[in-house]
Chains A and B, each alone.
Chain A
């Protein structure tokens, strides 16, 4: 019971801190959100490439996998693990295989839902 509580405290600490750093960048500089997403993805992929991000994932669970850093990590990590088993073909295909479920669901569901929902004209 106590260990579960501790885990949620870690999730809150890591997930919240990552978002707070991003918010700090939004406030203090003029970098747009899309650029910040790409920068964070790059940081995640680099940390994943050196195998460092897996320690964070082990320590903080969803607090590390839910932010976009975790997406970058799963792309890099997937390429490495597939390269270990399947050689060069694994190195080429592994990244997309690891991230494929999330990408497919977000594209497919968005496409389906856009048939049923109309955009509202913005009123201020």
Chain B
């Protein structure tokens, strides 16, 4: 059998096997899960602001990120987050929880390959591209802004 025919058959097989939740339904699930995580963040932000009214918006934003990240990692360790991710799809990985979950689950997954090349490097399997791109863009934005501000 030639290679192309085999590839085509394989693609057809995968399409057949992959779950076919109605796409309207999965959009609704993503909306629901994303909205729920953001509401949780807003709730924590309101609580922090009621205790420390003088705190500026950036610090509050950093704190709610920290809280959501910590909750996600604990839920990943308990194995609850996988079920949420299956339900929510993009609703769970687009919020900052997806970034935290990708680091935590990779760290747990590759633990058996050792401390340095297991946890240490494979931890960034998904989060690495995000960090690299983010840092690179922030450098570009900062330098462009600095050069513009000179004139």
Tell me, in angstroms, the Cα distance from A113 to B137 when the chains sit together. 30
Contacts of A115 in B (CB 8 A): 111
Nearest-neighbor residue (CB-CB) of A58 within chain B: B57
A96 to B108, CA, bound (A): 26
CB pair A23 B27 closer than 8 Å? yes
A24 in the interface, Cβ–Cβ < 8 Å?
yes
Take A38-B130, A49-B141, A98-B58 as given contacts and tell me if A116 and B77 are in contact as well, using a CB distance cutoff of 8 Å: yes
List B contacts of A57 (CB < 8 A): 57, 61
Q: Tell me how many residues of B have a C-beta within 8 Å of chain A.
A: 72
Residue of A nearest to B46 (CB): A4
Looking at the assembled complex, report how far the CB atom of A101 sits from the nearest CB atom of chain B, in whole angstroms.
5
Contact B138 A105 (CB under 8 A): no
Determine whether the beta carbon of B103 is less than 8 Å from that of A48.
no
**Interface check B134, CB cutoff 8 A:** yes
Complex CA distance for A82 and B145, rounded to whole angstroms: 10
Whether the Cβ atoms of B30 and A110 lie closer than 8 Å is: no
- Please tell me if the beta carbons of B65 and A48 are within 8 angstroms of each other in the complex: no
Confirm or deny: B55 has a beta carbon within 8 angstroms of a beta carbon on chain A.
no
Show 10 residue pairs from A and B whose CB-CB distance is below 8 angstroms, ordered by the A residue.
A15-B37, A33-B90, A62-B38, A66-B37, A67-B34, A74-B61, A78-B138, A109-B70, A110-B107, A119-B112
Binding site for A on B (CB under 8 A): 23, 26-27, 29-35, 37-39, 41-42, 44-46, 57-58, 61-62, 64-66, 68-70, 73-74, 76-77, 79, 88-91, 93-96, 98-100, 102-104, 107-109, 111-112, 119, 123, 126-127, 129-131, 133-135, 137-139, 141-146, 149
Q: A62-B45, A66-B64 are in contact. List 13 more A-B contacts (CB 8 A).
A: A15-B39, A19-B31, A27-B26, A45-B138, A63-B35, A65-B65, A71-B99, A72-B137, A88-B143, A102-B69, A106-B99, A107-B103, A119-B109
